[in-house]
Structure 1
Amino acid sequence: MGEVRNNHSDNDTHAAPVWLDEAYLEPILQRSKKDPGLRILQLDIKPATAKGENYASIMTRVKVNYLASGSKVPGHDFYIVKTTYENDPYIAGVFGGYDVATTEMQMYEKILPQLTDLLQQTSNPEKVFAQTLHVDYEHAAIIFEDLTVTKHQTADRLIGFDMEHAQLALRKLAKMHAAAAVLNEQQPGVLTKYDHGIFNRHTQGFAPFFTSMVGVAAEFAAETSELGPYYEQKLKAMQKRVMEYSTRAYDPQPDQFNTLIHGDYWVNNVMVRYNENSKELQDLVMIDFQFCSWSSPAVDLHYFFNTSLETEVRFQHQDALVQYYHSILVQTLKDLNFSGYIPTLRQFVLQMEKARFFAVTVSLVSHAIMINDQNADADFNGLMLDDERGRKFRKLIYTNKKLRDILQRLLPVFDRCGLLDVVD
């Protein structure tokens, strides 16, 4: 999942919404720029969602040429319009159970601006989120700044982040987590109501996908000499429990530090900017907030570590990254005079360990689709439906050599920690 920033050929993109035209956008720009006489001269609308890059929404890039009141020189702005899969009743039904559209619209309209205001009060304020232009509840649409204009881009999801990128991503995440904890302290309950993350106690709409992918992982183990029947049997036994064990990781615990998590924090849901001359990493902005929920920040960290790191960083440097994240979290909480529970590093490491089963789920399922490079059937139906096309696509995902190599190393690590054992 995640915003898509590339233009693609017509045959592999999703069509832009039919209602997105001059008549729709003109009053929005007039209000935004406080110029009732503004007139749109031309729209350039390009679909920007390709198969395999976004399973949950449709992204459209819009260039607006306009003439402001009293001006003879046209201006132009660039925006991203994010909408749901409104024309597919099956997809709409599944995602509707997770409140994804409402959650993200409320994030961009109400929550992220307040988090931004809080972060401006800290000792090291910086941009964390894209700026919102308009939220449209009728069309379940969000219009926000097109970050490609400021030279932000996505990194390569097939490679992942080195230490420098990972630290920057964790710095921004820690600041979001800290500001959210403070906001909920200032306005009790304003964020705890968000409880429809990818795993939650209201719906298991994604269960067919997660359980079937664990089954595919078991088949992979069976046919891999380094793993074999031992791991096949453990993964098959885990199929029935993967939803419950993962949901437990999401359940906020009263004796732990809880906050509003991003819920889908990986390479495709951040945009990075480099110096045009030196190519040095300069900035990173977080995007895509449809799965935010009140939970343990360990969820975001396990998700990020097991989807978004270069292989050796993933295996060798997670402890250092946890320590770095924790240092930024604590500093930001103190900057904002948070009076609630602030975990020590040791307490936070134990909190991470308590939710570590989620690393198994993410490694077997989420990361598998995120590094998939077989895009012919890479759509939501291909992930979810128990038909010949779906089964074929899910099995094809596990032919990925990088995925197979990582899991050959990782499954024994998980097993030695007891994470592959089925317990009540």
Structure 2
Amino acid sequence: MVELAKEEEATTDFHPAPVWLDEAYLERLLRDLKKDPGLRITELLIKPATAKGDNYASVMTRVKILYLKSGAKNPETEYYIVKTTYENDAFASGIFSQYQVSTTEMRMYEKILPQLTGLIAKTSQPEKLFAETLHVDYEHEAIIFEDLAVAKFELADRLIGFDLEHTRLGLRKLAKMHAAAAVLNERQPGVLTKFDHGIFNRHTQGFAPFFVNTVGVAADFASESPQLGEHYARKLKDLQKRVMEYSTRVYDPQPGDFNTLVHGDYWVNNVMLRYGEQKEPLDMTLIDFQFCSWSSPAVDLHYFFNTSVQTAIRYEQQDALIQYYHSVLVETLKDLNFAGYTPTLRQFVLQLERGRFFAVTVSLVCQAILTNDQTADADFHALMKDDERGRNFRKVLYTNKRLQDNLKYMLPRFDRSGLLDVTD
């Protein structure tokens, strides 16, 4: 008799596991993976793994399976992560379907990440970048991959952000992904350029209510802040109507630039880390590939620096860190005999500068939600809807002192660079 446990939190802090994820489903899967039609599950533990405020685009479920192979007397154990969509939420599903998040990520895990892994393995410094894909279920829009927690990988604290050591590790991994993707698309022309449904794209503006309304909250904050005032409030109000277009331009791949497949949502919670005894980061694995698109690396770099890197490091060491990223990128491209355009450091810095408006968008909007510490109303409806609950939640986002202090510092710098001006 199989012992089945579906652990649900006593509170509503965790998203429930999908109802179809049961013993019969997992036994069929395991029989296929192990090529053993007589395999039996003897014990099953299914535990929700996505807390409110941790992830707005998907549901993660942790699975522990004890099973007996045909003829065996002692059970073996497997640990999996099952990633699914908000299948019971018509509003969230309707928005995310416009961005093809499930299709994008399933294609990434099934087709693309294994090929990128193969390329990285051929470089002079091979290392693991991604979790191993075990199964992609198109019927349920689900991905099943190895549970990195078994290998002692864990999430960092999104409210603390990355120190210098974490940041360099994150940039190294990202540079290798970007380089391998550029090489893959060179060898298989067009295989990655079809990914064109990032958070900003030319097909949909489904997220517009969140971005436009949150810039409005930023304007209100500036108006009420003695250090900022009406000058910035007025500029941000004017910027509301252009934030979607200006951000989308950063995503548009430009001829003559170095373009690649960007992660599209590269921040603290979309990597997992393995630590040493002194809590030093030993390794990092990238996760969450729902918003990948063929774009400028400026997308990932501005997003990462303005959501995930500790304030002092972002202010004082960003130039040196960009130089480090570029060195890893160039070295990996050379290792893989890339024949396309490889930018010099100066060319690359200028390309990032052309995409710097995205730093404004990320600072005003993405940083607000990704460093939010008030999670009681932290769900997709609160982000997107212009009702009383949504308006209140967006105001709560702007009570975060870390966010406030950063904008008091950054808004004048954005302004002096002309990034807050509405031009065309």
TM-score normalised according to structure 2 size:
0.97
CA distance 1:351–1:8, change in 2 (3 Å): farther
SS of the equivalent of 2:66 reads strand
Once the two structures are superposed, residues 355-408 of structure 1 have per-residue CA deviations (whole angstroms, 9 ceiling, x without a partner) of 000000000000000111111110000000010000000011101111101110
Segments of structure 1 that go 5 or more residues without pairing to the other structure are: 1-5
What displacement does 1:173 show? Answer: 0.5
- Is 1:101 matched up with 2:102? yes
Q: Hey, what does 2:347 align to over in structure 1?
A: 347
Any idea what SS the aligned residue of 1:12 has?
Answer: coil
CA distance in 1, matches of 2:17, 2:342: 45
Shift of 1:7: 8.9
**Counterpart secondary structure, 1:306:** helix
Indicate the residue corresponding to 2:321 in structure 1: 321
2:414 paired residue number: 414
Alpha-carbon offset, residue 10 of structure 1: 4.0
* Aligned position for 2:278: 278
Q: What CA distance in whole angstroms lies between the structure 2 residues aligned with 1:391 and 1:67?
A: 53
SS at match of 1:142: strand
Identify the residue that residue 169 of structure 1 maps to in structure 2.
170
Partner residue in 2 for 1:73? 74
- Residue 196 of structure 1 aligns to a residue whose secondary structure is coil
Distance 1:396 1:25 in 2: 41
Cα shift readout 1:321-356 (whole Å, capped 9, x = no counterpart): 100000000000110011000000000000000000
Give the Cα–Cα distance (whole angstroms) in 2 for the partners of residues 224 and 298 of structure 1. 30
Tell me how many residue pairs correspond in the alignment.
418
**Distance in 2 between residues matched to 1:167 and 1:271, nearest whole Å:** 14
Does structure 1 conserve the Cα–Cα contact (< 8 Å) formed by 2:8 and 2:16?
Answer: no
Aligned to 1:205: 206
Within 1, Cα distance between the matches of 2:388 and 2:61?
31
CA distance in 1 between partners of 2:66 and 2:335 (Å): 42
> Identity over the aligned pairs, expressed in percent?
72
1:14 is matched with which residue? 15
CA distance in 1: counterparts of 2:334 and 2:193, whole angstroms: 21
Mapped contact 1:262–1:289 kept (Cα < 8 A):
yes
SS of structure 2 residue aligned to 1:176: helix
1:371 counterpart residue number: 371
1:148 alignment partner in structure 2: 149
Residue 162 (structure 1) shift: 0.7
d(CA) in 2 for partners of 1:282 and 1:7? Answer: 32
In structure 2, the gaps of 5 or more residues are 1-6
- Does structure 1 retain, via aligned residues, the 8 Å contact 2:264–2:291? yes
| Amino acid of the structure 2 residue aligned with 1:340 | G
C-alpha distance in 2 between matches for 1:130 and 1:231: 44
- Paired residues for 1:6-405 under 5 Å: 9-275=10-276, 277-405=277-405
- Contact 2:44/2:64 (<8 A) preserved: yes
Give the AA of the match of 1:12: D
Q: Deviations over 1:204-229 (max 9, x none)?
A: 00000000000000000000000000
Asked if structure 2 preserves the Cα contact closer than 8 Å seen for 1:45 and 1:62, the reply is: yes
AA of the residue aligned to 2:401: K
Letter in 1 for 2:257: Q
- The CA deviation string for residues 65-110 of structure 1, in whole angstroms up to 9 with x for no partner, is 1111232111111111100001111110100000000000010011
Structure-1 separation of matches of 2:50 and 2:11: 10
TM-superposed CA distance for 1:9, in Å, is: 4.4
Amino acid at match of 1:14: H
Give distance in 2, aligned partners of 1:281 and 1:238: 39
Greater shift, 9-18 or 281-290, is seen at 9-18
